[in-house]
């Protein structure tokens, strides 16, 4: 245990201010959040509350206005763009509301891409990609393009792409936001299964039912974050 | 990402937008075809020039009056003799040329005649096909006999040249006996065609056809290529001595080498001009590529965000979009080279000499790739510089 339970995501006093014209919009107001290995966390909040903004910062896609952020012990805010790219490639896996698959590539080509950016041999990468897709029940859909797949299938391809490189953390931004209730159940089931196998998951949602499937819920409102007990 | 996989990705993207890729590359197709044809035409021109000059001895020098028409102080047979005294000069022949009515039986044409010292024949590869050559006797005794160029004999006899040997013709109403016909010599690079002329002894030309209007050109042969300049200096010196009134200034001294150089120079100028046209076409097509790549980057901004989210580095995004531009332009280059090849027979039909060459293909493809790299770079760089979050949030 011990070392395992060190926070893999450790963000402190994160402030994000957007400047639009002369107005300043403080979207995140001293947000601190720790995620430990093997956690399955939901961040719940209404639309416009700053959930995506937080996830982009945790995902090293965006920088906070101020604060501190350590990912797997690395001081993210001191890293250069190339190093951030490498972190996104090796330590993070993203799942988006709109699936964000590359439309011209087949399912397996989408999934294999992060491994290719990592410099893994194509043959081996294809094997791993196929493994993950089969694991998610898409063994028969390897060579389908996104527009030939249902929403639930597309999101499972996206999940396969997120986990193919064995990331430290899976970040999912409203992964069920574009899905019907059956596909929503599917996808949540997949996350629970992945978590059981030891994956760390941060899932953002505005849906209380979905959030309840996680092991722990954070609430976000008006740029401030509250944990399970502390909702005002 | 390794090059092979990058290329695969690029080909997937380019091939799924075939119509746009093709339209984008039209300019490159035309540009590359032009470059290819420029090289082909250049090579054709060069080949034509060197063919013209191959029969001409590079040691030959022509001395002629600088101005056409009436000449106050013409060259003389004596000048030619003086020239031969130079150590740098092998031969020097005065040559008279004129035009006139040439008549055989009922047939008459306006043709050229050339009066030469008989030795001229050996040093100019005039060999006999039938009958005999001009001889020293003819020069000395001023025999009114002529040897015809192959083409002239053919024309006068309507394709039956053998009949004319031993017969008489008239040149400007003076009667000459045809004693022989030369073999065809083809294009000699000299300003007049030997095959179409009637040749007579020099003294005969002077006496019967030109009289006091005799205004010879002196055809000089230097002892070798390296002595051409020395020979020219000697000629200049002699002319200054013997033509005190106007000096060497009033004559033109042309050596084959500099004539060849001038002809090559003008062929090269032509090539450069065409090359400039090709470059302009490629620049215009490059700007087209740049435009389309900007549109592509804009359209695929979201995709770029996704690529960055899964770990693509700046140089990988740059590489991908640059490679797209290059693949498109290189495809245009290949099509252009094919188009160029197809156009070669067309040029031949227009009597433009064109020689297709590997060099032309290489140059054309190089230009097309350079166009792609040069004009694809900025849009690709823009794509690479996008911030991940801006790209991802772009709608
Ligand atoms: N680039 C930006 N510039 C200005 N305002 C922004 C920008 N991105 C997001 N916002 C604003 O920040 C707030 C939070 O957005 P977001 O994090 O996407 O919310 P959520 O994901 O919880 O719906 C919104 O009011 C949104 O309009
Ligand atoms: Mg959101």
What digits encode the pLDDT tens for the residues A149-158? 999 999 999 9
The residue-averaged pLDDT of B367-371 equals 93
The verdict on the CB of residue A223 being under 6 Å from ligand 1 is: no
- Cβ–Cβ under 8 Å, residues B275 and B35: yes
Residue B300, chain A, CB below 8 Å: the answer is: no
Q: Which of B16, B303, B310 sits opposite A114 (nearest CB)?
A: B310
3-state secondary structure chain B: CCHHHHHHHHHHHHHCCHHHHHHHHHHHHHHHHHHHHHHHHHHHHHHHHHHHHHCCCCCEEEEEECCCCCCCCCCCHHHHHHHHCCCCEEEEEEEEEEEEEEEECCEEEEEEEEEECCCHHHHCCCCEEEECCCCHHHHHHCCCEEEECHHHHHHHCCCCHHHHCCCEEEECCEEEEEEEEECCCCCCCCCCCCCCEEEEEHHHHHHHHHHHHCCCEEEEEECCHHHHHHHHHHHHHHHHHHCCCCCHHHEEEEEHHHHHHHHHHHHHHHHHHHHHHHHHHHHHHHHHHHHHHHHHHHHCHHHHHHHHHCCCCHHHHHHHHHHHHHHHHHHHHHHHHHHHHHHHHHHHHCCCCCCCCHHHHHHHHHHHHHHHHHHHHHHHHHHHHCCHHHHHHCC
Residues in chain A: 232
| The Cα angle at residue A115 between residues A109 and A119, in degrees rounded to 5 | 120
Mean pLDDT, chain B, rounded, equals: 87
Please name the residues in contact with A195: beta carbons below 8 A apart, sequence gap of 6 or more: A38, A40, A201, A215
Ranges in chain A annotated CATH 3.40.50.300: 1-91+167-232
pLDDT at B317: 96
Listed in sequence order, the residues at least 6 apart from A19 whose beta carbon sits closer than 8 Å to its beta carbon are: A25
Lateral strand order in the sheet of A224-227: A92-95, A169-173, A200-205, A40-44, A216-221, A224-227
Angstrom distance (rounded) from CA B273 to CA B141:
56
Contact B314 A59 (CB under 8 A): no
Share of chain A above pLDDT 70, in %: 96
At B98, give phi and psi (nearest 5°).
-155, 170
| Intra-chain end-to-end CA distance of chain A, in Å | 33
* Helix count and strand count (H, E) for chain A: 7, 10
Ligand 1 geometric centre to CA of A53 (Å): 6
Ligand 1 near A27 CB (within 6 A)? yes
CATH class of the domain defined by A1-91+167-232: alpha beta
What SS3 state is found at A33? strand
CA closest to A163 among chain B residues: B310
In this predicted structure, the answer to whether residue B256 has a pLDDT above a threshold of 80 is no
- Which 3 state secondary structure label does DSSP give A117? helix
Closest by CA position to A9, among listed A54, A65, A66, A62: A54
Model confidence pLDDT, tens digit, residues B102-147? 989 888 888 889 999 998 888 778 899 989 999 998 999 999 999 9
Q: Residue B354: which pLDDT band, with cuts at 50, 70 and 90?
A: confident
Ligand 1 pocket residue status of A16, Cβ below 6 Å: no
**Cα atoms in the 13 Å half-sphere on the side-chain side of B350:** 7
Q: Under an 8 A CB cutoff, do A88 and B313 touch?
A: no
Q: What is the pLDDT of residue A45?
A: 94
Three-class DSSP category at A115: helix
Region of poorest pLDDT, from A15-24, A166-175, B234-243, B342-351:
B342-351
The residue-averaged pLDDT of B202-229 equals 82
Number of neighbours of residue A71 by Cβ within 10 angstroms: 23
Q: Cβ(B188)–Cβ(B226) under 8 Å? A: no
C-alpha to C-alpha distance for A228 and B148, rounded to whole angstroms: 118
Predicted-complex ipTM score: 0.94
Q: How does the average pLDDT of chain A come out, rounded?
A: 93
B392 at interface of A, judged by CB pairs closer than 8 A? yes
Centre of ligand 1 from the C-alpha of residue A63, in Å = 14
**Tell me: the pLDDT tens digits for A52-85?**
999 999 999 999 999 999 999 999 999 999 999 9
**DSSP states of A123-151:** HHHHHHHHHHHHHTT-TT-TT--GGGS-H
Residue B320 at interface with chain A, using a CB cutoff of 8 Å: no
A4: number of Cβ within 10 Å:
10
The pLDDT value recorded for residue B229 is: 86
- Rg over alpha carbons for chain A, rounded to the nearest Å, is 17
Q: Number of A to B CB contacts under 8 A, please give it.
A: 68
- The alpha carbon of residue A60 is apart from the nearest alpha carbon of chain B, in Å, by 9
Mean pLDDT throughout B48-66? 74
- Given a contact cutoff of 8 angstroms between Cβ atoms, the answer to whether B347 and B354 are in contact is yes
Residue A36: its H or E element: strand A23-36
Q: Quick one: pLDDT at residue B56?
A: 65
Helix (H, G, I), strand (E, B) or coil at A12: strand
Measure CB to CB from residue B1 to each of A61, A81, A117 and give the nearest one: A117
User: Among A44-48, B261-265, B275-279, B347-351, which range has the highest average pLDDT?
Assistant: A44-48
The yes-or-no verdict on residue A230 having pLDDT over 60 is no
- pTM attached to this predicted model: 0.74
Considering only CB atoms, A104 lies closest to which of B13, B302, B308, namely: B13
**Residue, of B244 and A108, whose pLDDT is higher:** A108
How many whole angstroms separate alpha carbon A57 and alpha carbon B147? 101
Out of A95-109, A112-126, B150-164, least confident range: B150-164
Distance from C-alpha of B58 to C-alpha of B226, rounded to nearest angstrom: 10
Assigned token pair, A76:
């993210």
């Amino acid at each position: 245990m011990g070392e395992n339970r060190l926070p893999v995501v450790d963000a402190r006093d994160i402030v994000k201010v957007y400047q639009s014209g002369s107005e300043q919009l403080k979207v995140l107001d001293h947000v601190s959040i720790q995620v430990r290995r093997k956690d399955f966390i939901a961040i719940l909040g209404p639309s416009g509350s700053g959930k995506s903004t937080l996830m982009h910062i945790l995902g090293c896609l965006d920088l906070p206005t101020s604060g501190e952020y350590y990912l797997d012990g690395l001081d993210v805010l001191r890293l250069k763009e190339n190093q951030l790219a490498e972190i996104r490639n090796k330590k993070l896996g993203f799942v988006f509301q709109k699936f964000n698959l590359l439309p011209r590539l087949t399912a397996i080509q989408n999934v294999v891409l992060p491994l290719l950016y990592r410099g893994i041999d194509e043959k081996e990468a294809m094997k791993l990609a196929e493994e993950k897709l089969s694991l998610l029940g898409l063994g028969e859909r390897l060579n389908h393009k996104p527009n030939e797949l249902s929403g639930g299938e597309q999101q499972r391809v996206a999940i396969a792409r997120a986990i193919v490189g064995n990331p430290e953390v899976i970040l999912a931004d409203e992964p069920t936001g574009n899905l019907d209730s059956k596909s929503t159940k599917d996808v949540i089931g997949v996350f629970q299964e992945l978590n059981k196998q030891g994956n760390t998951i941060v899932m953002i949602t505005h849906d209380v039912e979905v959030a309840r499937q996680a092991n722990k819920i954070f609430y976000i409102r008006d740029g401030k974050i509250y944990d399970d007990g502390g909702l005002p | 990402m390794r090059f092979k996989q990058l290329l695969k990705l690029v080909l997937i993207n380019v091939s799924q937008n075939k119509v746009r890729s093709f339209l984008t590359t039209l300019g490159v197709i035309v540009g590359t075809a032009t470059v290819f044809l420029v090289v082909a035409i250049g090579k054709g021109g060069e080949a034509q020039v060197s063919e013209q000059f191959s029969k001409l001895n590079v040691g030959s020098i022509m001395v002629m009056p600088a101005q056409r028409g009436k000449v106050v102080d013409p060259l003389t047979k004596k000048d030619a003799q003086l020239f031969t005294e130079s150590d740098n000069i092998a031969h020097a022949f005065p040559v008279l040329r004129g035009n006139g009515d040439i008549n055989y039986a009922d047939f008459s044409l306006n043709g050229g005649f050339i009066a030469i010292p008989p030795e001229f024949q050996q040093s100019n590869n005039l060999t006999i096909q039938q009958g005999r050559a001009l001889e020293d006797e003819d020069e000395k005794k001023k025999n009114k006999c002529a040897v015809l160029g192959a083409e002239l004999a053919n024309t006068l006899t309507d394709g039956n040249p053998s009949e004319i040997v031993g017969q008489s013709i008239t040149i400007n109403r003076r009667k000459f006996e045809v004693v022989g016909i030369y073999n065809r010599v083809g294009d000699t690079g000299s300003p007049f065609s030997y095959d179409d002329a009637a040749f007579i002894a020099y003294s005969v030309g002077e006496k019967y056809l030109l009289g006091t209007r005799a205004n010879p050109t002196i055809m000089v042969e230097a002892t070798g290529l390296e002595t051409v300049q020395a020979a020219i200096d000697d000629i200049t010196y002699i002319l200054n001595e013997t033509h005190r009134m106007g000096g060497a200034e009033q004559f033109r001294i042309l050596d084959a080498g500099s004539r060849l150089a001038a002809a090559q120079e003008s062929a090269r100028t032509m090539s450069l001009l065409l090359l400039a046209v090709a470059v302009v076409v490629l620049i215009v097509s490059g700007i087209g590529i740049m435009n389309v790549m900007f549109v592509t980057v804009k359209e695929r901004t979201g995709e770029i965000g996704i690529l960055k989210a899964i770990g693509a580095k700046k140089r990988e995004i740059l590489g991908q979009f640059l490679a797209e531009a290059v693949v498109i332009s290189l495809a245009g280059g290949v099509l252009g080279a094919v188009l160029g090849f197809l156009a070669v027979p067309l040029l031949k039909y227009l009597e433009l000499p064109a020689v297709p060459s590997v060099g032309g293909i290489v140059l054309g493809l190089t230009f097309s790739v350079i166009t792609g790299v040069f004009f694809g770079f900025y849009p690709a760089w823009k794509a690479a510089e996008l911030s991940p979050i801006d790209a991802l949030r772009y709608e």
